[in-house]
A = this chain, B = another copy of it.
Amino acid sequence: MENPRRRFLKNTGTAMASLSLSAVIPDRALAIDDKTTGKKEDPFKVGIASWTFVKFKLDASLEMTERVNVKYLCIKDFHLPINSTSGQIAAFLDQLKKKGITGYGVGPISMRSEDEVNRAFEYAKNVGVKLIVAVPNHELLPHVEKKVKEYGFHIAIHNHGIGDKRYPTVESIYEKIKDLDPRVGICHDIGYSAQMGFDPATLTLKYGRRVYEMHIKDMTSNTAEAKDCEIGRGAIDFPKLVKALRKTGYSGTCSIEMEKDNMDPLPGLAESVGFFRGVLKSV
């Protein structure tokens, strides 16, 4: 069976060439048979963003990932440092493989110099992934684009809300990247969007074709005072979001990120995964 990650990126690349903001044609050829999502025909996967496990070593993180029956993990540097040797990377990948878990991307990685951009692409290449979730300085975007063309990878720039001077919103990312190579795109963290008063579903309909990674969470309100909470307990309209993801043919990963209770994330993660899958099954 073809590696789902490779298939996703290959197809995304193909699809990108023919996409415009006014014409959305969900590409059902992107669909993968991930039985952990709600419907077999969903072109996107359910994953976990590793920030969920910021207080845990890799083995415990993989145990929790397995417990909630998730097969895709976005790799963070606290589990696999950027300067890892090839031996360390091989050992890391072996640990994932034993659990049947695929590391489909790396990041978020902050990029404040050309060297950091270069290092991130080499890191992704050595790990064997073609998706980098990133936060590059604005002036580095031409260099990022050059590297995207050189490696054939996708970059998903992450929004971090009002406190982030580089990329507070999805729109602020889009404005910076819209004229770059289409493989320079967005990682949409819906929590930060909600915290700034945006409806993530509306943003998905508007910018979704340039989104290559989704960080899925819930917030207690649509205001700056909002706190992270279990998916389903907060203010985000998930049925509406899932409809938007399907309408735009999103074919990346919906990676659940549980930031609340980070010393004991498993119950909240499980509830969140369950809720999101319940919505996927029902919408």
Instruction: Show the binding face of A for B, using Cβ within 8 Å.
Output: 67-69, 230-233, 238-239, 242, 266-268, 270-283
CA A270 – CA B69 in complex, angstroms? 13
Q: How far, in Å, is A242 (CB) from chain B's closest CB?
A: 8
Smallest distance from the beta carbon of A119 to chain B beta carbons, Å?
Answer: 37
Least CB distance, A173 to chain B, in whole angstroms: 29
Contact of A282 among B231, B268, B272, B279 (CB under 8 A): B279
Residue from the set A69, A271, A273, A280 with the largest chain B CB neighbour count within 10 Å? A271
Whether the pair B267, A233 counts as a contact (CB closer than 8 A) is no
Nearest B residue (CB) for A268: B270
**C-alpha spacing A232/B270, complex, angstroms:** 12
Q: How many copies does the complex hold?
A: 2
Taking A266-B267, A274-B274, A277-B278 as known contacts, 11 extra A-B pairs with beta carbons closer than 8 A to each other, sorted by chain A number, are A67-B267, A232-B274, A232-B277, A238-B278, A266-B266, A266-B270, A270-B270, A270-B274, A273-B274, A275-B275, A278-B279
B residues less than 8 Å from A68 (CB atoms): 267, 271
The 7 closest A-B pairs by CB, nearest first: A278-B278, A274-B274, A282-B282, A271-B274, A274-B275, A275-B278, A270-B270
How far apart are A42's CB and chain B's nearest CB, in angstroms?
14
Q: How far is A268 from B67 in the complex, measured between Cα atoms in Å?
A: 8
A233 vs chain B, min Cβ distance (A): 6
Q: A267-B68, A267-B270, A270-B268 are in contact. Are A282 and B239 (CB under 8 A)?
A: yes
Q: How far does the alpha carbon of A283 sit from the alpha carbon of B280 in the complex, in Å? A: 11
Partner pick for A271 among B271, B281, B283, CB 8 A cutoff: B271
How far apart are the CA atoms of A267 and B278 in the complex, in Å?
Answer: 16
Please report the C-alpha to C-alpha distance between residue A273 and residue B278 in the assembled complex, in whole angstroms: 10
Kindly identify which residue among B271, B276, B282 contacts A270, using a CB–CB cutoff of 8 Å: B271
Q: Which residue of B lies closest to A280 (CB)?
A: B278
Complex interface: chain B residues within 8 A of A266 (CB): 266-267, 270
Indicate if the CB atoms of A281 and B232 lie closer than 8 Å.
yes
Residues of B within 8 A of A69 (CB): 230, 233
Complex: how many Å from CA A67 to CA B233? 12
- Do the beta carbons of B279 and A281 come within 8 Å of each other? yes
Least CB distance, A60 to chain B, in whole angstroms? 13
Cβ–Cβ < 8 Å partners of A67 in chain B:
267
Q: Which residues of B contact A277 (CB under 8 A)?
A: 232, 274-275, 278
List 23 A-B pairs, Cβ < 8 Å: A69-B230, A230-B274, A232-B274, A232-B277, A232-B281, A238-B282, A239-B282, A242-B282, A267-B270, A270-B270, A271-B274, A272-B274, A274-B274, A274-B276, A274-B277, A274-B278, A275-B275, A275-B277, A278-B278, A278-B279, A278-B280, A279-B281, A282-B282
